[in-house]
Amino acid sequence: MPATMSSARPSAPPPHPVSPATPSPTAPSETSGAIACDLFCAVIDNFGDIGVCWRLARQLTSEHGWQVRIFVDDLHAFQKLCPALAVDRSRQAVSGIVIEHWREPAHAGDTLEVADVVIEAFGCELPHVYVAAMARRERAPVWLNLEYLSAEDWVADFHLRQSPHPRYPLTKTFFFPGLGAGTGGVLKEHHLDAARAAFEASPQARDAWWRHTTGQPAPTPDATVISLFAYENPAVDSLLEQWRDGPDPVVLLVPEGRISGALARFFGLPSFAAGSHAERGKLRAHALAFTDQPGYDALLWASHLNFVRGEDSFVRAQWAARPFVWHIYPQADDAHLPKLDAALAHYADSLPAESRAALARFWHAWNGVGQPDWADFQRHRAVFERRAVQWAQELAALGDLAGNLAVFAKSQLK
């Protein structure tokens, strides 16, 4: 069962066998002074696990001066959003970050160096030999379990809760991202708002982006530009028909992925691979290549409305300060719907009742409950646009996850 947004309460880590005594490993930080951080990431599926970890690692490195090493098992998924990565190397450095291919669960790097801060992403379970070495380290490392993002209220009660290791003198702290006070917040680079403002302020940058990305100039101002990043979704056919038959032009930008098959079928094409273009009625669609993470931010900024999914693109759409529709990572027995409604509560509760209801109807329809009504959603477009700008400011007040994590870790390293 692939990992889903964690609704489980934190539990004590499983017991680890005692490893044969080896010299206490020294962390790089004892030489350079910078905080050394090892981040372990097991890719369950899709791109969010490594998407979040890569973004976090780059922020800790560039904004906090940490020395970060990522252990990641799936270099192919990683390379999709980090083209500079070589998929055949067991160890490499990209953007000042060491990347180790975590080739099997027991592997803990060619040399066993325990960092000052150890981040276990999404409960991926650290190599036993590494945990044993953590226990032998003169100064116990700060051990953080980075949880999946959830907007549910209980998250604030569990954020920074600690769990002692059953056998070793180690303590694991549960670090919960969130959309509300008392949580770890969500990832946001310090330069992000300025980069978006620069893109939005420059017609040249936008036009260059359109020509580079679609081979065509930016569409006319009467067109609604929509980015579509989603899992397979039965509701998409109805929306494509409504956009095709609607009164106003819609330009759809579709990164190649799990929704591409539905586009191909709708347009009667064998595929809708990157570089494809199609037009029916008022709908024009472009298939885009998967790009790196900064490139994905630009896609969000070039659009009026963003369909996003999972965790990281869901957060990026909120920072893009535009209306967005979230395709939550589907879970059995509709367990994902309370998580969807918890996010809607944060985002939409201050909206006028009619607009809030229209947004909830549309998000539910996009997540398997009811049929999407585009005209009903569009009627509230101006309200949604104002709310999106306001929400980005409210969310920023929580502080960014990397900064919150760095402050906590330093408080434990004293």
Mark 384-414 as b/e (b = at least 16 C-beta within 10 Å): beebbeebbeebbebebbbbbbbebbeebee
Per CB under 6 A, does 44 bind ligand TRH?
yes
Using the rule CB under 6 A, give the single segment among 7-15, 152-160, 170-178, 309-317 that binds ligand TRH: 309-317
Q: Smallest distance, Å, CB 138 to ligand TRH?
A: 36
CA distances from 328 to 189, 211, 281, 320, 344 (A): 23, 31, 30, 18, 12
Per CB under 6 A, does 331 bind ligand TRH?
no
Question: Pairing between strand 162-164 and 171-175?
Answer: antiparallel
Whichever of 25 and 255 has its CB closer to ligand TRH, that residue is: 255
- Biggest CA–CA distance in the chain, Å, is 73
311 is catalytic: yes
Which of 30, 45, 245, 354 contacts ligand TRH by CB under 6 A? 45
Per CB under 6 A, does 255 bind ligand TRH?
yes
349 is catalytic: no
Phi, psi of 133 (to 5 degrees): -70, -35
> How many helices and strands in the chain, by DSSP H and E?
16, 14
Whichever of 64 and 339 has its CB closer to ligand TRH, that residue is: 339
Per CB under 6 A, does 290 bind ligand TRH?
yes
Per CB under 6 A, does 292 bind ligand TRH?
yes
Report how far residue 354's alpha carbon sits from residue 341's, in angstroms, rounded to the nearest whole number. 16
Per CB under 6 A, does 178 bind ligand TRH?
no
Q: Smallest distance, Å, CB 231 to ligand TRH?
A: 7
Report how far residue 23's alpha carbon sits from residue 111's, in angstroms, rounded to the nearest whole number. 12
Report how far residue 192's alpha carbon sits from residue 211's, in angstroms, rounded to the nearest whole number. 23
Tokens representing 160? Answer: 């920074």
- Closest-CB residue for ligand TRH? 48
Using the rule CB under 6 A, give the single segment among 26-34, 41-49, 112-120, 201-209 that binds ligand TRH: 41-49
Q: Residue 65: which region, alpha, beta or left (left: phi > 0; alpha: psi -120 to 50)? A: left
Using the rule CB under 6 A, give the single segment among 194-202, 233-241, 284-292, 379-387 that binds ligand TRH: 284-292
The residues carrying an active-site annotation are 49, 311
Interface residues toward ligand TRH, by CB under 6 A: 2-5, 44-49, 51, 81, 148, 229, 255, 290-293, 296, 309-313, 329
